[in-house]
Structures are given as C-alpha cells and as structure tokens.
C-alpha cells in the first residue's frame, strides 16, 4: 500500500474493532416470483464472502444483515437471503406499488441504515426493472457515508484486529478501473462480475424458517408520507434505430433467407 496516500486519509474516526463489524445489504424483489434482483445477489455474495474470508482473523464473525423495502410478500426474499447465509433481516413494509422513486426508497432504507451503526452498506449497482442505479448513492448521502459505485473488487485489510478502511476497484469504461481506499463506514454499489453468487444451503434453509424477520411499518417510521420528486407518466416501447426486417418461415427458410441477404450485401 502507498503509505503517503494512506495517511492523507482522515483516520480520526474511532477504529472499528472487527469483533463488532456489521454489514448491511439492501435487496429488492424483481418480478412476481420472489427473485432477488440479480445485482443485489452479487452484493449479498460479496458480504458473505468477506465474512468468510476474515473469519480466521477475527474474534467474532462479521454479522451480515439484509434489508428490503416493499410489500408484505417481499418477506420471501429475506427468507431466501437467510438461506444464503444472512444473519439478520429487516423488512420495511410498504403499501404502494408501481413506479417508486429512488429518493423515496433511499429515504425509507435510511431508517434502518441510520439507526444501526453498520460499518459497510452494500447494494446492487441497479435493479433490473427500474435500472436507475440511484438508491445506493442517495442512501449514502442521507446517512452521510462515502460512496463508490460499480464496485468490481473489494478487500478488507485487517491490521491488529482493526478494520477501518476498505480497498475497492470501481469499473469505468473501456476496461479501465479506479482503485480506491475508502474510510469506513462506507457504502458500495456492487457490479456483476465481482463474484459468483452461491446457492442456498440446506442447513441455512432449515434455520431460515426459524429466524425472525424484524418488520417495520412504513407508517410508523414516516408519519408524513415521503413525496416523490418526479412524476411517472407511463411507459412506451423504445424507438427502433434500424429497419428490423423479421425473417419468416421454418428454421430452414430463415437460414436460406439470411444466406441470400448476406450474399447480396457481399458479407459472406
């Protein structure tokens, strides 16, 4: 590690003793079948593998909690996260549906992320449905954490049982990456490709049924409803940018037509 750059960071924060380290992973459901957003699965995997990697060096294991904001049926994804190995789960139960502004979601998540002193908060880089990629950086701003998005590599260097920074690589365009050192507590949004999410373990799944989900009602947390800062007007099909000639007929007919077209264009 570059010593100079290490010390130019502000390390005045009380060191986090690894024995009490806590990671929060924000997850959401995508679709109607109880699937966890695929980027959030990468975030959860990263938290669980950090926990496993550091276990031999720590007095007490890292605790990994998950939190979701959504309708009552989303408790399913918390159970699923338990099955994967999450220790605790929070569910902020909401009644609204359809388009939900990232600002509203981040504000709701902050109710948990602010209350409990997490050392590391992870989210997926975006959800595959809303594709906004804003919940993480907005949550960081509300809670007051430094934030890096599109993280493709992490490592938690533990020195003398003290963990107070994380090393990350964030993905830029054209194969470039920025290597950063970030003071904890911090928030990272996790990009796909960082890891391969595990499958649920039977032992975890059996225990998952027994675990308690801490349920918080939105109305109790926020007596005044949080107002979205955008108005959703509706959806439409994306524009075509090319002609889009659809080949018809049997498989063989289509192959024949493609071959003829490629010949015409002198491509084959």
Partner 1 sequence: MKQILVIAEIWEGQIRPVTWELVAAARKIKNSPALKQLSPTINIIVPADDPAPLAEKIAKQTGIDVIGLQIPELETYISEIYIYCLEQLMRANPQTGDSYENVFMSKNKKSTCKAPSKKMNPSHILIAHTSQGQDFAPGLALSLNAASIPGVNGIRYDEEGVIYSRPGFNNTRNLMIRPAANRPVVLTLIPGSFKPDSEKEKKPGQVEIRKISFAPAAYGKKRIQHRRTVKKNSENQALKKAKVIVAAGRGLKEKENLGSVFKLAQCFPAAAVGASRPLVDMGWLEHQHQVGITGATVAPKLYLACGISGSSQHLAGIKEAEFVVSINKNPEAPIFRHSDICITADVIEFIETFIKK
Least distance CB 165 / partner 1 (angstroms)? 9
* 33 touching partner 1, by CB under 8 A: no
* 9 touching partner 1, by CB under 8 A: yes
Binding to partner 1, residues 179-208 (CB under 8 A): 179-183, 186, 192-193, 196
Find tokens 């109305």 and name the residue. 219
Q: What is the dihedral of CA 154, 159, 160, 165, to 10 degrees?
A: -60
Q: Which of 85, 87, 108 is nearest to 28 (CA)?
A: 108
Stretch near partner 1 under the rule CB under 8 A, chosen from 46-54, 60-68, 69-77, 123-131: 123-131
125 and 192 Cβ atoms separated by less than 8 Å = yes
Question: Any bridge partners for residue 168, and if so which?
Answer: 154, 180
User: Cα-atom radius of gyration of the chain, to the nearest Å?
Assistant: 22
Binding to partner 1, residues 229-248 (CB under 8 A): 229-247
First to last CA, the chain: 53
In the bound state with partner 1, the residue whose beta carbon lies nearer, of 206 and 255, is 255
In the bound state with partner 1, the residue whose beta carbon lies nearer, of 72 and 193, is 193
* 22 touching partner 1, by CB under 8 A: no
Least distance CB 206 / partner 1 (angstroms)? 29
Q: Given candidates 173, 199, 210, 224, which one binds partner 1 under the rule CB under 8 A?
A: 173
In the bound state with partner 1, the residue whose beta carbon lies nearer, of 206 and 247, is 247
In the bound state with partner 1, the residue whose beta carbon lies nearer, of 6 and 214, is 6
* 172 touching partner 1, by CB under 8 A: yes
x-or-dash pattern for partner 1, window 90-119, by CB under 8 A? ---------x--xx--x-------------
Binding to partner 1, residues 62-91 (CB under 8 A): none
What is the C-alpha to C-alpha distance for residues 191 and 151, in angstroms, rounded to an integer?
A: 5
Q: Which positions ≥6 away from 238 have C-beta within 8 Å?
A: none
Total residues at interface with partner 1 (CB under 8 A): 83
Strands 88-93 and 29-30: unpaired
101, two tokens: 């502004």
* 210 touching partner 1, by CB under 8 A: no
Q: What is the dihedral of CA 68, 71, 74, 78, to 10 degrees?
A: 40
Find tokens 């049997």 and name the residue. 250
* 209 touching partner 1, by CB under 8 A: no
């Amino acid at each position: 590690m570059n010593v100079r750059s290490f010390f130019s960071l502000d390390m005045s924060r009380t060191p986090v003793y690894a024995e009490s380290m806590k990671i929060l992973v924000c997850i959401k459901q995508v679709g109607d079948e109880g699937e966890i957003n695929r980027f959030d699965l990468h975030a959860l995997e990263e938290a669980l593998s950090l926990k496993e990697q550091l276990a031999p060096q720590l007095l007490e294991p890292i605790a990994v909690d998950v939190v979701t904001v959504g309708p009552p049926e989303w408790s399913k994804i918390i159970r699923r996260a338990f099955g994967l190995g999450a220790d605790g789960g929070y569910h902020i139960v909401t009644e609204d549906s359809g388009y939900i502004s990232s600002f509203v979601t981040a504000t709701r998540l902050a109710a948990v992320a602010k209350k409990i002193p997490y050392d590391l908060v992870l989210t997926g880089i975006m959800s595959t449905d809303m594709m906004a990629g804003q919940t993480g950086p907005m949550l960081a701003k509300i809670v007051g954490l430094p934030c890096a998005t599109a993280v493709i590599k992490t490592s938690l260097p533990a020195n003398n049982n003290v963990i107070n920074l994380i090393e990350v690589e964030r993905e830029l365009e054209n194969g470039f990456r920025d290597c950063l050192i970030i003071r904890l507590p911090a928030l990272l949004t996790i990009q796909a490709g960082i890891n391969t999410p595990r499958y649920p373990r039977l032992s975890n799944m059996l225990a998952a049924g027994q675990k308690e989900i801490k349920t918080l009602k939105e109305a109790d947390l926020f007596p005044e409803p949080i107002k979205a800062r955008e108005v959703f007007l509706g959806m439409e099909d994306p524009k075509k940018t090319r002609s889009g000639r659809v080949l018809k007929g049997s498989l063989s007919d289509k192959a024949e037509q493609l071959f003829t077209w490629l010949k015409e264009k002198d491509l084959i």
